[in-house]
Structure 1
């Protein structure tokens, strides 16, 4: 049985499902049609943290924003569904499909109340003309009809909950008077203000320095545990994923190419792209002085090559990779990989020896810390 980061098991997801993304396809229309998302499917259950990882342009943020109904004017869902489920007091599920809802319905029923997002650029996400307190109050007044006094009291409680000192004073200040880390804490308070079931964190630490990044991650981890939030964590940093995620979806060229528990993806990766991401991750556990870089550039979504889009960058590519894109193969206990190397008739290929050494070292440290 595979135990994940927060104690769930890969083969026993017994909690209730709150999000189901199935065969999602999203296109951007213009002079050239860009197939940004190509058949993505994954689930999110109560209290879980699911990470979506990949290089810039892989489709992580497009997927996350679609869940919240944030679509550009030239963007459309061409296939699939995004089902958000809430449960009545008697346990009856109430399912809403974002892909079938109007923008007005999404704003009224989903944004803030069911799903909220913490964006990556903390300062630019806040309105410079409004006080911090007013911005935290807005959602509660809109969705819950709170009067100013009640909203103010709740906003100050939220500022304190996210670790902002002197919350009454900060309530009256403007974003430019706060540090980047403090602005991100305000964004988290805004996201939590309407008690959402799902929190999407889109690269929430990218624009912050390293020490502040750690504090924000610790804050998000604490809030997730205390509130029982279901979290989607978008990042390119696998080191972050290792500390927060229960399940991982690896994206490349608009498609999920490997998915499984965090333990499966970190300690038993099967896709050469995942091998590359893990090899490029710096660590202090091994004695290597060189960092690996995946060769070549990410595939262009406006002009995808025939076959597997990763094939031109894949030193382990087979002949079939150049003509046919692989399906998702089940390699055990819910672990899936879109690689022809997982086909029963494919030749056996071991991951690169330096990565094997890195994983063995990480695994030994992990097991030692759990004794």
Structure 2
């Protein structure tokens, strides 16, 4: 009889129509309290893909295309001015717009990857010190191998960015994290140390102006012939799409990823390498784009959840749209002079970052 009573209790816990006394379970209130000794199931609702609505994505694509057309149309010279205008259009306007697309999509997706791998919404290439490491590698290349071309500087910068990102992750493993705000604080402090070393070396060799140009990201110098390496970050974005499911599982934690057969360490290293390449290449070509990888993934995640594969198109479009809007503001607010896109992007990004911090504090 005790066994039958236990079976009835088990059926009641599993949601059967009646309990041991024969009362309908469906009409009794259910407590939200977890029984002592019970292990709560992981909440993976946020990682499930939202209901598809293709028309919304189509509208977003149209908006981004309109912004890119505006980027092609805005400038200090008249593109309708005969042969000269057409030539300048293909020399400067088209490469600049393509650079906006490539850099915006790559940095936004790399921020999403960093946030999933670290399980922290406040992490991107800016708040993890990755871009500062990339600048240090770029400076050392200038000092030790000044004859190296653009591709060589890109490789060295990406390697240093990878080392910096891995150092950041190793530090996180060795400390006890009691609040999510500690993680970006560590990255910002690490980046400040590396930035100080870079500035010191630049001052010793009279290269402060060059370093300040890297820290002040701008698309002004982008012309035909010096932006083509940015197509490498398009490959990075495609690889993120391919590995999106593994990144999603890895974002649930090492135990969950291992239990479903995903090699957590391999995904971690591969994802970090993709972020490093995106940061290194972007730093070489256009400089820093602060908070881009922080703002866009957070806004998309607040609306759509944390499913990487379904969010990636939106993150790419959001990154392109944000960096294009900031570039247009910088080009028109004091025309014919330009304000670097990093200044506008930093202002917007810092505002969103503080808003996220306050929102996290209320939660």
In which range does the TM-score fall when normalised by the shorter chain? under 0.3
Q: Normalized against structure 2, the TM-score is what?
A: 0.22
Q: Normalized against structure 1, the TM-score is what?
A: 0.21
The structure with the larger Rg is: 2
Q: Which has the higher helix share?
A: 2
Give the structure, 1 or 2, with the largest relative contact order (CA under 8 Å, sep 6 or more): 2
Q: Which has the higher strand share?
A: 1
